Amino acid sequence: MIRDCPFCGTKPKPTGDGVIITKEVMLDAGGGEVSMSHTVRCCECGAAVSEEHFEEVVARWNGGPMPWDDISDDPDGSAP
């Protein structure tokens, strides 16, 4: 799912000491969810990226297209 660290090459590990994904939920005083973020972090070199949505943070870490990258000003592909 997530690739090796692009900076130092550390691999994702199930033990939590390689490349990891964390989720943080911020709550208001009444216990209601206010915001959420996901972070992919390399425990070896400290590189990290954060996004609100899981799919976005994985795409960003992996260097692939973001979910909104398919939106185009040229929907029929006719522009040079």
pLDDT tens sequence across 36-70: 899 999 999 999 999 999 999 999 999 876 555 55
Provide, rounded to the nearest whole percent, the portion of the chain with pLDDT above 90: 54
Q: What is the pTM of this model?
A: 0.72
Tokens of 8: 């130092």
Task: Identify which has the larger pLDDT, 65 or 24.
Answer: 24
The residue range of the domain holding 50 is 1-61
Whether 79 is in a domain gets the answer no
Whether 74 is in a domain gets the answer no
Whether 16 is in a domain gets the answer yes
The Cβ-side half-sphere exposure at 37, using a 13 Å CA radius, reads 8
Over residues 27-38, mean pLDDT = 83
Whether 69 is in a domain gets the answer no
Tokens of 30: 């009444």
CA gap 45, 42 in Å, rounded = 6
Token pair 């990258």 is found at: 69
Confidence of residue 71 (pLDDT cuts 50, 70, 90): very low
Whether 78 is in a domain gets the answer no
Q: So what's the pLDDT on residue 19?
A: 94
Whether 36 is in a domain gets the answer yes
How many domains does one find in the chain? 1
Specify the pairing of strand 48-51 against strand 19-27.
unpaired
Q: Hey, how many other C-beta atoms are within 10 angstroms of the C-beta on 76? A: 6
Whether 41 is in a domain gets the answer yes
Whether 54 is in a domain gets the answer yes
Contact 25, 36 (CB under 8 A): yes
